[in-house]
Amino acid sequence: MTTYAKLMDDPIGITKRKKNPKIRIGTWNVRGTYSEGKLKQIVQELQRYNIDVAAIQETKPKGKFITEIDNYILLNSGIDNRELGTGFMVKKSLKGAVITFKPISERMSYIRLRSKYRKISLLNIHAPTEDKDLEVKTEYYEELEGEYVKIPKHDIQMVIGDANAMIDK
């Protein structure tokens, strides 16, 4: 799991922490959430790393939905064939900070959060691998660009997720 911490003065404006308040944002390709105990395991790891908002990829459950698991809320953008899916795990304590969740496609989802001074927009991606057809990759990147330009310019903007980057040897 990769974590990205964004340090700000009380970023959500509702944080109870007194010493160095911050929001911790992470991303993780979980490779499925529908097997028994998998969501509990994901929650345990997010708690272990004290992640407030996690962008997750390859969620794989059917359909678009929002549900609660322990101290987190799962916002999912899946489809009917259980192949991909992206979403967010948000701590319940930040539930009031969620302005918008938009399931865009099985490879992309968006969340907008209220903070004390500025709003935070996260675009969660799961890019096609290098071996996919050029048409699939072109369509994906056109969709990504189209969604990115819709993010309000005054927001803190982040594109996070699984970019499926390859490094040649």
- Read off the CATH number of the domain in which 126 is found: 3.60.10.10
Confidence check: pLDDT of 7 > 50: no
168 belongs to a structural domain: no
109 belongs to a structural domain: yes
118 belongs to a structural domain: yes
149 belongs to a structural domain: yes
86 belongs to a structural domain: yes
Q: How many domains does the chain contain in total?
A: 1
Confidence of residue 5 (pLDDT cuts 50, 70, 90): very low
Residue ranges making up the domain that contains 134: 2-162
Confidence of residue 82 (pLDDT cuts 50, 70, 90): low
Per residue in 92-116, pLDDT tens?
Answer: 999 999 999 999 988 999 999 998 8
pLDDT at 51: 97
30 belongs to a structural domain: yes
pTM of the complete model beyond 0.85: no
Residues 16-36, mean pLDDT to the nearest whole number: 75
pLDDT at 21: 62
Burial, 24: exposed, middle or buried (Cβ in 10 Å; 0-12, 13-18, 19+)?
A: middle
Residues 81-88, mean pLDDT to the nearest whole number: 82
Q: What are phi and psi of 147, to 5 degrees?
A: -75, -40
